[in-house]
Amino acid sequence: MQISSVFIIANGLKKESMELSREIMEYLRAKGIAVSVVSTETDEDTLSVPVDTDLVITLGGDGTVLYAARAVSEMGIPILPVNLGTFGYITEVGKDEWKEAFEYFAEHGTNISRRLMLRISVYRQGHRVWHASALNEAVISSAGIAKVISLELSLDKTVAGSFRADGMIIATPTGSTGYSLAAGGPILDADMSAIIITPVCPFTLSNRPLVTSGRVVTLTVRKGQRTDLLLTADGQLFFPLEEEDTITVEKSRSRALLVKSLRRNFTEVIRDKLHWSGEMHA
């Protein structure tokens, strides 16, 4: 890989981020690589990444990676995610190993995980009124106090059924270790190309999580809701829904390109995060 320009996204809420960004800047500039840094304190900030950027480095946690992935989703720019806390499910690279991950990527360009992203659209009276991309998931839930919502689910053009639940999660394999997992969904290998549909506390016990390979997932807000509804993308973008709105979720043509750690893989991360010791604990 010929790397000439690097863009650093530092989580301004983490004290170490600016100190580490200065260290990385000095290292890269000594190699003749152009570097720019932006410090963010909210996931709602508008981020403009230069088109000539060869690599984005994120300093923070999983939330910072989600933010960056949406910003470069159609640009094909790899992201080196450096974790400043405990290892996240997405941010495998520790703050003491960013250099070796960078050097291996610069020399070989093979330590890349190509992650599925979602394309989300909301249609109201036949017109698209909102759209977004997501690396983890799209969630439809009550906007107020906990109340059951009612949705109709279709896969492609086939009606799969009506669901009454606290919410509905449409997740990627990357997002399978997030909210979907907490709601009882399965864990998928991060490099798979599949979509998980997970009801949140469904009113009917036969409503179970579903994994589909490549269909367009369509959810329609049914009439007679007893609460306001909210659509959330990656837990960072929000859009209020109305009755009879139609939400489509499908695979994006773009992938999130994440530079992988050389010291641990996806299995090791979930083993340690979920404390899979192999022994029974009382």
Kindly list the catalytic residues.
62
Tell me the C-alpha distance between 268 and 10, whole Å.
26
- Closest among 130, 203, 215 to 170, alpha carbons compared: 215
Residue in the structure block whose two tokens are 């997970």: 198
Tell me if residue 33 falls in helix, strand or coil: coil
Amino acid (1-letter code) at residue 118: L
Contact 55, 78 (CB under 8 A): yes
Tell me if residue 261 falls in helix, strand or coil: coil
Tell me how many degrees the CA angle 255-40-3 measures, rounded to the nearest 5.
Answer: 50
- Quickly list DSSP for 98-138: HHHHHHHHHHH---EEEEEEEEEEEEETTEEEEEEEESSEE
Write the CA distances from 90 to 84, 173, 264, integer angstroms.
12, 11, 12
* Tokens standing for residue 220: 């329609």
- The β-bridge relationship of strands 112-124 and 127-134 is antiparallel
The continuous run of DSSP H or E covering 281 comes out as: none
Alpha-carbon torsion, ordered 47, 53, 59, 65, to 10 deg: 60
A 10 A CB-CB count for 242 gives 13
φ, ψ of residue 20 to 5 degrees: the values are -70, -35
